[in-house]
């Protein structure tokens, strides 16, 4: 199976931390890179640190 690096984080998703997954997601939904820390501060909680992502490999997700 082919696993490529992310568009923003130069690592495979399986090697990313929770924070890196959040940043990659924000990048994909169009949030400017310079706004990441601003969003974290505005939420008054550590959005990136408090998040808990569980990665799962879905081999045949796009096979339909």
- As a whole number, mean pLDDT of residues 56-61 equals 70
* Cβ–Cβ < 8 Å for 48, 22: yes
Residue 39: CB atoms within 10 Å: 14
- The residues spanned by each domain of the chain are 13-39+46-63
Average pLDDT, the chain: 76
Asked if 24 and 35 count as a contact pair (C-beta separation under 8 A), the reply is no
Segment 28-51, tens digit of pLDDT: 999 998 888 887 777 654 555 555
DSSP reduced 3-state for 28: helix
What is the reported pLDDT for 15? 85
Q: Residue 14 has what pLDDT?
A: 79
If you search the block for the tokens 């096979």, which residue do you land on? Answer: 63
User: Is 22 buried (19+), middle (13-18) or exposed (0-12) by CB count in 10 A?
Assistant: buried
């Amino acid at each position: 199976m082919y696993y490529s690096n992310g568009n923003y984080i130069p690592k495979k998703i399986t090697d990313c931390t929770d924070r890196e997954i959040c940043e990659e997601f924000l990048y994909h939904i169009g949030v400017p890179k310079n706004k990441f820390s601003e969003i974290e501060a505005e939420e008054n909680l550590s959005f990136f640190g408090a998040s808990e992502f569980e990665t799962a490999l879905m081999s045949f997700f796009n096979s339909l």
